[in-house]
Every structure is written in structure tokens, then in C-alpha cells.
Structure 1
Amino acid sequence: MQGKKSADMRRGLIAVAALSALAGCATVQPEPTMPRVALDTTAGTIVLALNVASAPITTCNFISYVVAGDYDGGTFFRTVSRETNTASRYPIDVIQAATPRGSDDASRPPITLERTRDTGLRHTAGAVSMARDEPDSATSSFFIVTQDTPSLDFGGGRNPDGQGFAAFGAVVGGLDVARRIQRMPANSEEQLTPPVTISSARLLDAAPAVCIKSMRP
């Protein structure tokens, strides 16, 4: 147990150090209102713009995993299409990604659910959002919406609790890559065969000050 706590602390300190180093960039360039992250994958590059103003908890959590290198070597492992997701009353169009530790990554505590009711964001085509089971249970696994899917919003029926999922940004480059990944071969359990590797996840802009502050021990 002590070993796990020490490992978690090391990962947190790495993220803090990385964010602090990136903060130096803010002295020579304005802090972006929507910092970008580039996901370099074996299928191509996807660029995300993150809405830190509307969803600060979710955005800062995602950035902390990015700057610590936690998504490097991870995968887009799941594809869901409404054309095949016929078992659900609320079919969706998404691809889901995870760190190398998997979608149930327990290396850090889960975060508070930022509902679309409160953020004003929506699960339209290109939205990036956090995977979860119960409310306030999301950690690192995220998904990209390839077609408008309102059932993922607050009050939507995709999750039985009706709380929806936490959208926190959008694809600003490479939506065609995401859609190509969605069409790749998958088994009966919606697992991509093979999964698409994330070779690196890179923060392209200065880390938002609110994220640096939230990561300090």
C-alpha cells in the first residue's frame, strides 16, 4: 500500500514539475483560452482544443495526464457506431482511449463530474469527453464523439443515471482520423482489433495557470 502511495506521489510530482516548466512559456506568450493537445497515433494526428473556462476540473485533469506522459503508449481501444450499437436504445458514435494501464486506471483519484447542464458544452461531432461509470468516477479514459450524440449530455439516456458525461473540448484537427479509427475492424465487444496506439500526447500551448495551481501539492 505504501509503495502505491509513493508511486502516486511521484507521478503527481512529475506532473507538477512538467506543468511548472510549461508555465514559463506564459511569460513570452499569452495563456491560451483553449490550450491544444496533439495526439500522435498510428492512424494519424488528432488535435484537441480544451475548454478550460467551461470545464476546468476535467481539462486540468486531462492535461496533468498529458504532461506526465501517461497517454504515451496508450491506445484507442474501443469503437462504437450507432449502425452496430443496436442493442442500446441510445446508440452512440465514439472512439475511446486509455493509458497503458487501461480504462480502469486507478493511479490517481477520480474527479468530480462536470455536467453539460453546468458547463454548457455538448456532445456534438468532434467533442472530447471523459468515460465513466458512476458520477464522479472518471480518471484518465476519454472518448471522441464522431457524430452529434445528444444522449451523452445531461438528461440524455445513454447512462441510466441521466447525469451525462463531461465534455471538455473538441477536435480542431484530425476528425477524419477519428472517424477512420471508428471504422477500423473490431470484435463483438467493440474492441478494436488491433487497437490504435497513441505514440505521444503533447501539450502544444502554455499550461493554463488554473491547472498549475490545482496540481500543486
Structure 2
Amino acid sequence: MTLRFAPLAAPLLLALTATAYGAAPKAPARPAPLPDVVRVAMVTEQGTITLDLDAKNAPVTTRNFVRYVDQRRFDGIVFYRVMRLKWGEQPNGLIQAGTRGNPQKNLPPIAHEPTNVTGVLHKAGAISMARHAPGTAAGDFSILLSDMPGLDADPNATTDDGKAGFAAFGHVVEGMDVVRKIYDVPLSTTLGEGVMKGQMIEKPVRVLTVRRVAIPAAPAPATSPTTN
């Protein structure tokens, strides 16, 4: 017990000492506001996937993802799952990556942002948070190969899970060919449990870095030549 709580003693003593001498404790710094769209480049072993994250309509989910990016918690994670749906136009399904509950990389879970509130839907190229129950999403995410409206929130669903859906918060702007390469990698026939058995990548695809990148300025409109 002493070892477990010992690290708390020094900060507490400093806070009490500062108060005793009249120094007000510092309030935690507020995070800088995000632009409406945050662009990130995800460099993988298969190539680079560039994503635009919708901070305007899905601020909680985007802020969470950006914290992982800025703290470099996504560096070294892997794409570990491919869900291939056999019906509909192919390719149909998603790829999944993330921290997988690693306590050295995970941040606390975030509040759920349903698609019927954000308007960010599960279309082909969307990025969406993986979760268990609503409100448990942390550091795992999926990128869709196809439209998957079944992942959107459905207020008329018969279950709470179906009513909540999943939280999409951006989309791929470059690198869908890389997403397809990851989708096509060999899968293990033995790894995984339950519905995920047969969906685990035999040799997970490593994510080297994920960084914010600038969005190029729109080109100036062409002007008509003047005549004399």
C-alpha cells in the first residue's frame, strides 16, 4: 500500500505548501481549439493513408484521436483485423487498428457521438471508432471499404447498441489503394474469438507514424485576361 500511494505524496505536499504560502494552484491548461477539419497522415508498412477528421461535427471523437496523434501513441500500433463481408459490391467490409487496450498507450474512454447527431455517416472511406458498449471507445478505430449504414445510429432499433451505432468522425482523402492493400492481406484461420475468428491478420500491418499535416491552400481562381 505504501509503494502504491507513495507517488501521490510529493505532488500533494507541494500543493499544500503552495497554498500555505499564498500561491494559488495552477489550473490545468485548456487544449488549443482545433480547426473545423484536421488532416493527418498515417504512414503504414503498406503506404500512407491521409484522413480528414471532422472536428466541427464530431468534436469529442476528433479531439480524442488528435490527442493520440500529438502524443505519438499511434506510432507502432498495427492493423490487426479485416472484416470481409461476402455480399454486396466488393470490396465490402473494413480494416481495424489501434492500441488494443495497451495501458502504456491508452487514454481514458470518451463519450459516444452518434451519427444521427454528428451527421458523419459510415460511407466508403470513413474512419470510425471501435468500441464495446457506447462510451467505451478509446484508441481503436476502423476504416471502411464500403458504405455500411448498419453502423450508423438507428433511433428505431430494438437494442440500445443499435440505437447508438458507432461514431464515424472523418474520411480518407488519399490512400484508399493502401486501405485496399491492407484489406487484401492474408488472414489467420485460427486467431480471434467469436465473430472475430478468421478476421485477424496473419502478419499485422505496422503503423509507423501518424502526424498532423497541413491542408494545401485552394488554388486562386483564374482571372480573365483584360482587353483594351
- TM-score using structure 2 length: 0.70
Q: With CA pairs under 8 Å and 6+ residues apart, which has the higher RCO, 1 or 2? A: 1
1:161 aligned partner, one-letter code: D
1:124 aligned partner, one-letter code: K
Match of 2:219 in 1: none
SS of 2:170's partner is strand
Deviation for aligned residue 1:52: 0.2
Larger radius of gyration: 2
SS of 2:36's partner is coil
Deviation for aligned residue 1:3: 8.9
Alpha-carbon contact 2:35-2:55 (below 8 Å) kept: no
Superposed, 1:1-217 pairs within 5 Å as: 32-83=35-86, 93-99=93-99, 103-106=100-103, 107-155=106-154, 161-162=161-162, 163-188=164-189, 189=197, 190-205=199-214
Aligned equivalents of 1:165, 1:122: Cα separation in 2: 9
Alpha-carbon contact 1:44-1:174 (below 8 Å) kept: yes
Aligned equivalents of 2:113, 2:179: Cα separation in 1: 24
Alpha-carbon contact 2:187-2:200 (below 8 Å) kept: yes
SS of 2:161's partner is coil
1:39 aligned partner, one-letter code: M
Deviation string, structure 1 residues 17-50 (Cα, Å, up to 9, x no partner): 9x76xx8xxxxxxx74311010000001000000
Deviation for aligned residue 1:105: 3.9
Structure 1 stretches of 4+ moved >4 Å: 1-5
SS of 2:79's partner is strand
SS of 1:198's partner is strand
Deviation for aligned residue 1:197: 0.3
Identical positions, percent: 39
Query: Aligned pair in 2 of structure 1 residues 182, 160: CA closer, same or farther (>3 Å)?
Result: farther
Deviation string, structure 1 residues 78-108 (Cα, Å, up to 9, x no partner): 0001029xxxxxxx61100113xxx224532
Deviation string, structure 1 residues 46-82 (Cα, Å, up to 9, x no partner): 0000000000000000000001010101011100010
Deviation for aligned residue 1:155: 1.7
Alpha-carbon contact 1:105-1:139 (below 8 Å) kept: no
Aligned equivalents of 1:48, 1:2: Cα separation in 2: 42
Match of 2:194 in 1: none
Aligned equivalents of 1:68, 1:80: Cα separation in 2: 29
Give the aligned length: 175
Deviation for aligned residue 1:160: 7.0
Aligned equivalents of 2:5, 2:101: Cα separation in 1: 21
1:56 aligned partner, one-letter code: P
Alpha-carbon contact 2:72-2:210 (below 8 Å) kept: yes
1:119 aligned partner, one-letter code: T
2:120 aligned partner, one-letter code: L
Aligned equivalents of 1:2, 1:139: Cα separation in 2: 26
SS of 2:63's partner is helix
- TM-score using structure 1 length: 0.73
User: Which consecutive residues of structure 2, in runs of 5 or more, have no partner in the other structure?
Assistant: 9-28, 190-196, 216-228
Deviation for aligned residue 1:139: 0.3
